[in-house]
Structure 1
Amino acid sequence: MRANVSSPRGDSRAAKAARDIIDGVTNYPVWGTLAWQDIRQRYRRSVLGPFWITLTMLVTIAGMGPLYGALLKIDLHAFVPHLALGIITWGLISGLIIDGCACFSAVETIVRSVRLPLTLHVMRSLWRNIVMFGHNILAYLPVMILLRIPPHWSWLLAIPGVLLVMIAAFPASIILGVFCTRFRDMQPIVGSIVQLAFFLTPIIWTPEALGSRAYLANYNPLYLFMEIVRGPIYGGIPSAEIYLGAIGVTVVLYLIAVPLFARFRARIAFWI
């Protein structure tokens, strides 16, 4: 009798989760509008709006580039583009992680008062960060002009890299959103880990600095996703190991996120 009762319950729970994911992902008019509203609300009284972040990145690049280039004894023409693209891409990845933690808890009022797919709020977070990344990439233009870096067709390969980052960020946001909604202490912990990860990821340093242990950088999942975006623009097409590693991490994230969301989706509203 127990087997007969639990099976339909599990099927029903999985079906509801699948319907939530489909409805949330495909409802672009809603999550797209909400994401734009978030950006306008955040920078409503600002003169430069979200371009303050772009300006901050540009100042950081201008300050850190010559300093760390001299400390690491790397030619500025090689190091500054590496640093600039690293900081810009890190802004996307870290933003996705931090916002993923609050993708449910930050919209408490909407979750409780409006019947919407929960994954719609995940898509809202993803779209908000991709829009921010779209104008933050403008911080690379002064670097191109000053160092006379001509654009190349290989740069277009960064677009599939960004898409893969977003595909991986979807299950990662679900995982982080569920745990950070259930355990509120998780969000500041994740924030601290992200700060530490900045220094452990080749952004202000290069893998070559590790010498014979440069291969260890490939075991950093954040480096893999950063490299599939930065690599085509900075140093050519990343190796197959980089792409396979990023795809492997993405698959693992989905294997964790799908059953987790199916089991705890109905409890998120009560945890909030």
Structure 2
Amino acid sequence: MSEGQDAVLVPASPRSQATNEFWRELRESFRNPEFWALSSWLDILVRARKSRFGMLWLMAPAVVYVFGLGSFFASMQGRSIAEFAAHVALGAMVFRTLMSSVIGSANVLVASQSFIMDGHMRLTDYLLQSLAKSFFDFCTYVPITVIALLMYKGVALQGLLLAPLTIGLIYLNGLWISVIFSLIGARFSDFGQLLNHTSIFLFLLTPIIWYPDLMPAESVRGQLMRFNPFYHFVTLFRAPILGEPVEMVTYWYVGAMTIVGLVAATFVYRRYARFVPLWI
């Protein structure tokens, strides 16, 4: 089917007249957060009410990662539990935030089919809904991470002050990732499943339960690790807080990814967003 035919088959709606204006729609979504912010929070509350421990149960993954895996792997690497728990907590917090954004965005448009076909919501509302859910997941890691950092005596104050800026940069990248991956997920329904299957591999490839100095830059495994974008985001957030140096390649990698990603997302949204009602 040709592109022109696709355009004819897309249902006309108030929203479909402006799908090529990504930044304008994004501004409108931020000005009207009732849908994406409230629905994300209600989803968290519903999940919590279904469990006996309520909101405390949402912290279980953080406890397992930080103090479960942390205590198991700390002695294997000759580290104290206090040092390794802080290392794991900060790394797992960033990795889970990004992976939640990636996987959630791949499924968000398909899961919102009935709302999208109704035609009264912007696609950016659903993208922000996915990011909001990942932010609430991020918040469940905060109490456990605070405990881990209190146990560790080498926390750098300057790194803590830079942490909010780094988180903002991470979510800026999460935005363009959500745009591109949501459109791919709308076009190919199995894309979300593929990301689920690769998440374990990416977790093991990212230095969360091990230290990056185990992979020298000149080795093949070290180069593979540095090709992994999760490594750079984790390092950019974690290293300053723990008083560790950040390689210059990480700054260049994240900076280039942010600029190129936002430009690509703007183009892809402008080019393909109008086909979403047809794809889903």
The interval holding the TM-score normalised by the smaller chain is 0.7 to 0.9
Native 8 Å contact 2:179 2:269 kept in 1:
yes
Identity %: 22
1:122 equivalent among 127, 147, 167: 127
Partner in structure 1 of residue 13 of structure 2:
none
Secondary structure of 1:43's aligned partner: helix
Work out whether 1:174 is the aligned partner of 2:179. yes
Post-superposition shift, 1:50?
4.2
Amino acid at match of 2:168: L
Post-superposition shift, 1:48?
3.4
Answer with 99-108 or 12-21: which moved more: 12-21
2: CA distance between counterparts of 1:65 and 1:142?
Answer: 13
Answer with 104-113 or 44-53: which moved more: 44-53
Work out whether 1:52 is the aligned partner of 2:52. no
Partner in structure 1 of residue 274 of structure 2:
266
> CA 1:63 to 1:108, structure 2 compared with 1: closer, same or farther past 3 Å?
same
Answer with 115-124 or 243-252: which moved more: 243-252
Give per-residue Cα distances to partners, 1:33-59, cap 9 Å, x unaligned. 222122223323224334323233213
Partner in structure 1 of residue 200 of structure 2:
195
Give per-residue Cα distances to partners, 1:194-246, cap 9 Å, x unaligned. 22100011111111111354763332211111222222322346344323311
Amino acid at match of 2:273: R
2: CA distance between counterparts of 1:84 and 1:213?
Answer: 28
1: CA distance between counterparts of 2:71 and 2:118?
Answer: 52
Secondary structure of 1:104's aligned partner: helix
Post-superposition shift, 1:189?
0.7
Post-superposition shift, 1:61?
2.1
Work out whether 1:225 is the aligned partner of 2:233. yes
1: CA distance between counterparts of 2:278 and 2:177?
Answer: 21
Post-superposition shift, 1:257?
1.6
**Count of residues in Structure 1 that have an aligned counterpart in Structure 2:** 261
Post-superposition shift, 1:135?
2.8
Post-superposition shift, 1:114?
4.5
1: CA distance between counterparts of 2:131 and 2:42?
Answer: 14
1: CA distance between counterparts of 2:191 and 2:20?
Answer: 29
Partner in structure 2 of residue 101 of structure 1:
106
Native 8 Å contact 1:55 1:139 kept in 2:
no
2: CA distance between counterparts of 1:35 and 1:271?
Answer: 24
Post-superposition shift, 1:60?
3.1
Give per-residue Cα distances to partners, 1:114-166, cap 9 Å, x unaligned. 51110111111112211221231111233234445667243121111110111
2:77 equivalent among 61, 72, 84: 72
Partner in structure 2 of residue 138 of structure 1:
143
2:39 equivalent among 28, 34, 58: 34
2: CA distance between counterparts of 1:71 and 1:23?
Answer: 51
2: CA distance between counterparts of 1:150 and 1:259?
Answer: 41
Native 8 Å contact 1:96 1:129 kept in 2:
yes
Post-superposition shift, 1:258?
1.6
1:253 equivalent among 251, 261, 264: 261
- What is the RMSD computed on CA atoms of the aligned residues? 2.4
Segments of 5+ residues of structure 1 without an aligned counterpart are 1-11
Post-superposition shift, 1:89?
2.0
Amino acid at match of 2:246: P
Secondary structure of 2:50's aligned partner: coil
Work out whether 1:62 is the aligned partner of 2:67. yes
Native 8 Å contact 2:90 2:145 kept in 1:
yes
Aligned residue runs from structure 1 range 80-91, under 5 A: 80-91=85-96
1: CA distance between counterparts of 2:94 and 2:209?
Answer: 12
1: CA distance between counterparts of 2:72 and 2:134?
Answer: 29
Answer with 109-118 or 38-47: which moved more: 38-47
Answer with 56-65 or 173-182: which moved more: 56-65
